[in-house]
Structures are given as structure tokens and as C-alpha cells.
Amino acid sequence: LTSAQKTAAQVRGAKLAAIQQKTLEQARIDATYAWDASPVSTGRLSAELWEAVKGEDWSFVSYIMHFSWWPLRTWPMEKHYQWNGNTGGNGMGYNAPASLGAALANKKHGRFTVNIQCDGDLMYAPSVLWTAAHHQIPILNVMHNNRAYHQEVMHLQRMASRHSRGMESVGIGVKIDNPNIDYAKLAAAMGVYSEGPISDPKDVGPALRRAVAVVKRGEPALVDVVTQPR
């Protein structure tokens, strides 16, 4: 590069750095909205999870579109293994087994594996929990338990609105309630340390810290948090 090109690149880099910092600051402000809401806001859950794992050599392995991208927006991801990336084909039931595979890969490096697990996805292959317990694969699973296949809920809402047919039936086949699934009991039945379901945001941080201690001793753990849809 010429001197002029180097100077131009430095000026452009400084502008991009300033934009990035401003974007980060705004995202952290946005995460505080509905901080005390119940069900727990996704912004608060992401912030509480960061506080629990920030001192570890962490690796975040979740497919994350369903969680409003909060960790990518607010966590300082500076190493190649700190995010596992998205699914290539949007396969249903992808996240739980893919995250456990990443946790197995991380185990030999001593990395702390973190997974935000959506509820509908886990129901495709809940035996993943037994596999984690059987093979002693350390992973922190935090349930994004919004009690729905919410991407499908939103699509049905859009279609119902477009066709002016009302919202009364948009939950059919896509809500996961009546009865609600207790993922903590499901995990316990598979031999995994678990807590929840948690709907009071004040209880999230302490539960996460207890689960972190379990994972650090080489075991899987699950914290079931009842959450806002997105």
C-alpha cells in the first residue's frame, strides 16, 4: 500500500471501530428492557449467562437466531472457538446434538461449553441428555423455554394477518403447552444435574452459577428458564 492508502485504511478502521463500540453500547442498553419481566426476557438471560461464564475459557456452541442473537450482539467473541456458527441447512432438531458434539470436541481442550437450547428443538432428540450424562461430557444447557415453536407461531401470525382471518388458531400445532414440559425433570430423568423451571428473573443468576460449578467438575447440567418468545 502507498502511504496515502495506509492513511485512508487507518481512518476507515477508526470509523468502523467507533461504529462497533456504539452498536455494542446500544445493544447492552436494549438488553435491559423488560429486565424484571416474567417470563424472563432473552436479553436478561443472555446477560446473566455472561456473568456466570465470563471467567471461564468459554465456547458458545448454539444456533442463535431464535434468541435474538443476544450473545453475538453483547459478548466479546475474540477467539475462533467462541462461537460454533449456525446450522448450514436449518435442520429441525439440529441444535441439541450439534452442541453436544461441540462439547465433546471442547472437552479435551478444557473449554467450558455453553448452549442456549430452544425447547422445541430438544424434543426431537431428548436422548442427547442421556448421552451427555453417560459419557460425562461437560456442557451447560440453558433452556430458552418459550413453550412454542415460536418461529412457526410468528409465520402463522403473518399469514393470518395477510389473509385477514384472525389469530384464534395460530397456536395449533406450534404451541408447546397444556401441559407445559418440565425440562428440569426431563434432564434429571436422564441423569443430568438440573434446576427449574425458573420464571422469576432474580433466580436465574444463582441457578446458573450453581450449574457452572457442576460443569467445571466435568458433568453436564441444564437450567430450565421460562422465557419471553424472543
For residue 145, the 8-state DSSP code is E
User: What pLDDT, on the 0 to 100 scale, is given for residue 201?
Assistant: 97
Residue of 169 and 180 predicted with greater confidence: 180
Contact at 8 Å (CB) between 118 and 148?
no
Q: SS3 for 60?
A: strand
Between CA 107 and CA 92, with CA 57 as vertex, the angle to 5 degrees is 60
C-alpha cell at 144: 430458552
Model confidence at 112: pLDDT above 90: yes
Model confidence at 169: pLDDT above 90: no
- Sign of the torsion formed by the C-alpha atoms of 183, 135, 62 and 110: positive
Contact at 8 Å (CB) between 220 and 139?
yes
Tell me the one-letter amino acid at 221.
A
Model confidence at 154: pLDDT above 90: no
